[in-house]
C-alpha cells in the first residue's frame, strides 16, 4: 500500500489486520508466524481422521481473506485461484505445493490489506457487506487469523507429541 496518511479509524483496522497476520503484537504468535519455517511433512500431518491439517487451515485463511476482500470491494465471485470454497483438501504433495499455497496466503493478505487501507471512514458503520458493518467484517477477519494461528500452534504441539 502506498505511503498515505490514513484516517485514524482506518489505520487502527489496518494495524489490527497486520498484527493478526504478520506484525509483532503483544498477544504472541500471529498467523504468518505460526506457519513460518514449516515444511510439507509438518503441514500435511493430520491430528486425527477427518481433521484439518496446517496446510488446509492456511489455505482456508487465504480463502476468507479473499472473501472479505470481495465483500469490501464488490469483486466478482469465482476469482479465487483455487476451485471451491471455505475448506480445500490439500494433497500430501511437495514443499513446492506448500510454498505456492503460502504465497497465495501472503497475496490474499496484501490484497485485503490494501482494500482495508482504502476504506472510507464514513462507510465503516454501513452494512453494505451483509449482516455486519464494514468495520465488524474487518475486525472479524483479524480475529479469524488469530483463531487459526492458535489452532495451528495446537496442531504443531500435537504433532511433536
Q: How many other C-beta atoms are found inside a 10 Å radius of the C-beta of residue 74?
A: 8
The model's pLDDT over 3-55, given as tens digits with 9 standing for 90+, comes to 578 999 999 999 999 999 999 988 889 999 999 999 888 999 999 999 999 99
CA end-to-end span of the chain, whole Å? 41
pLDDT at 93 over 70: no
The model's pLDDT over 140-155, given as tens digits with 9 standing for 90+, comes to 999 999 999 999 999 9
Average pLDDT of 61-68? 96
Does 3 reside within a domain?
Answer: no
Does 129 reside within a domain?
Answer: yes
Task: Please work out, in degrees rounded to the nearest 5, the angle formed at the alpha carbon of residue 35 by the alpha carbons of 137 and 59.
Answer: 50
Please report the sign of the dihedral spanned by the C-alpha atoms of residue 7, residue 141, residue 86, residue 42.
positive
* Pairwise CA distance, residues 112 & 151, whole Å: 22
How far CA 71 is from CA of 33, 37, 66, 109, in Å, comes to 26, 32, 9, 14
Mean of the per-residue pLDDT values of the chain:
91
Does 125 reside within a domain?
Answer: yes
pTM of structure: 0.92
User: Domain range for residue 110?
Assistant: 8-160
Does 2 reside within a domain?
Answer: no
pLDDT at 101 over 60: yes
Identify the pLDDT of residue 129.
61
Average pLDDT of 81-89? 89
pLDDT at 2 over 60: no
Does 80 reside within a domain?
Answer: yes
Confidence label for 81 from pLDDT (cuts 50, 70 and 90):
confident
Q: What are phi and psi of 144, to 5 degrees?
A: -60, -45
CATH of the domain at 104: 1.20.120.450
Task: Please work out, in degrees rounded to the nearest 5, the angle formed at the alpha carbon of residue 27 by the alpha carbons of 86 and 44.
Answer: 40
* Pairwise CA distance, residues 83 & 87, whole Å: 10
Per the structure, how many domains does the chain have?
1
Task: Yes or no: say if 62 and 108 are a contact pair by the CB < 8 Å rule.
Answer: yes
Average pLDDT of 86-107? 87
Amino acid at each position: 500500500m502506498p505511503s498515505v496518511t490514513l484516517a485514524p479509524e482506518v489505520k487502527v483496522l489496518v494495524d489490527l489486520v497486520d498484527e493478526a497476520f504478520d506484525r509483532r503484537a503483544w498477544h504472541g504468535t500471529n498467523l504468518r508466524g505460526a506457519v513460518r519455517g514449516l515444511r510439507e511433512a509438518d503441514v500435511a500431518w493430520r491430528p486425527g481422521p477427518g481433521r484439518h491439517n496446517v496446510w488446509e487451515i492456511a489455505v482456508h485463511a487465504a480463502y476468507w481473506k479473499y472473501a472479505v476482500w470481495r465483500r469490501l470491494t464488490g469483486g466478482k465471485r469465482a476469482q479465487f485461484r483455487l476451485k471451491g470454497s471455505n475448506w480445500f483438501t490439500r494433497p500430501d504433495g511437495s514443499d513446492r505445493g506448500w510454498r505456492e499455497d503460502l504465497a497465495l496466503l501472503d497475496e490474499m493478505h496484501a490484497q485485503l490489506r490494501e482494500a482495508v487501507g482504502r476504506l472510507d471512514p464514513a462507510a465503516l458503520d454501513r452494512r453494505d457487506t451483509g449482516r455486519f458493518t464494514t468495520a465488524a467484517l474487518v475486525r472479524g477477519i483479524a480475529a479469524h487469523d488469530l483463531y487459526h494461528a492458535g489452532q495451528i500452534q495446537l496442531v504443531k504441539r500435537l504433532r511433536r507429541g
